[in-house]
A and B are shown apart, each in its own frame.
Chain A
Amino acid sequence: MDEITCKDLVELVTPYLEDALDEPTLDRLEEHLVMCEWCVDYLEQIRATIGALGTLPPEPVPERLREAIAGALREGS
């Protein structure tokens, strides 16, 4: 990848946060972040969202929804 644009960064943010980028792409992404405050803000928002969602307890699945899904699966099989 030659240069990373803001649009590219949006696509790359998940692999970046999962430490799954190859070295050259990571270099280019960091180079972009240094000069782009918008993308730093975006990255912080994603990090904050992940952090906030990570603290939520799992919601129980409503019984009616569970039955509807089970019924749909039975009909489909």
Chain B
Amino acid sequence: MTVYKFLRPGAIGPFSGFRWPQPRGSAPGPWVGADAAPVRCRRGVHACRLHDLPWWLAEELWEVDLAGEVVAYPHKVAGPRGRLVGRVEGWTGAARRDYVHACAWRARDRALEGLDARAAERLRACATLEDVQSTARDLAEADAQARIALAMAADGAMTALSELPAMGAYVAAHAARRAGGEAAMAAERRWQAGWLAERLALNAPAG
């Protein structure tokens, strides 16, 4: 089964600290793991399907083969063994920046939904994320009811300006959740996954 995995620079597992053996030339890296069945967060090789990607963002994205009986969880899959097949080269600094900027504008749009016409017009008129950040903060001080949504819009802008894609995606997802509940958050995560799939020309898992 071919899936994906986000890693820290140098192909290092974000939580495990495991340094993955990398592919050499066109050959995949060596298999890692054991034959024992995977246990969530404990044992086995954990990876993402396309729709799981926004939950696990990190600096490097790799295509991964999983072998053995693969177990599916709500936001990931795990198999007894896995290997790195190749790095997704399109997940560059520029792609990460574009992604978190897109998320920030969506968090801004969520905040618009709860504003009165005049405040909405001010926030909608923002041409830059710097403007979004400062305007949302100003408006939040005057509008107690929309304060949290506006704070999230400002936070979304901050994550984009600081180039923090995982946090930006999180803010946009939770801004959606606040506005429309779990279904809206799931839809926002799907949109984020779609953005990544399209930009990076990723295919649905095979095998």
Contact = CB atoms under 8 A, between A and B. Distances in A.
Q: Is the interface of B mostly helix, strand, loop or mixed?
A: loop
Contacts of A31: 55, 170
A67 interface: no
B50 to A, nearest CB: 17
B199 interface: no
A73 B177 CA distance: 56
A43 B56 CA distance: 17
A33 B42 CA distance: 15
Interface residues of B, number: 19
Contacts of B170: 31, 34-35
Which range holds the interface residue count of chain A?
A: 10 to 19
* Most B Cβ at <10 Å: residue of A19, A30, A31, A34: A34
A31 B74 CA distance: 12
B16 to A, nearest CB: 10
B75 A27 contact: yes
Contacts of B74: 23, 27
Nearest to A21: B41
Contacts of B174: 3
A8 interface: no
12 contacts: A19-B39, A26-B40, A26-B41, A27-B74, A30-B55, A34-B55, A34-B56, A34-B170, A35-B166, A35-B170, A40-B14, A44-B17
Given A19-B39, A30-B55, 11 more contacts: A19-B41, A27-B74, A31-B170, A34-B55, A34-B57, A35-B57, A35-B166, A40-B14, A40-B15, A43-B15, A44-B17
B164 interface: yes
Interface string B142-172: 0000000000000000000000101100100
Q: Which 10 A-B pairs have the closest CB atoms?
A: A35-B166, A35-B167, A35-B170, A34-B166, A34-B56, A27-B74, A3-B174, A31-B55, A27-B75, A34-B55
Contacts of A3: 174
Interface string B14-29: 1101000000000000
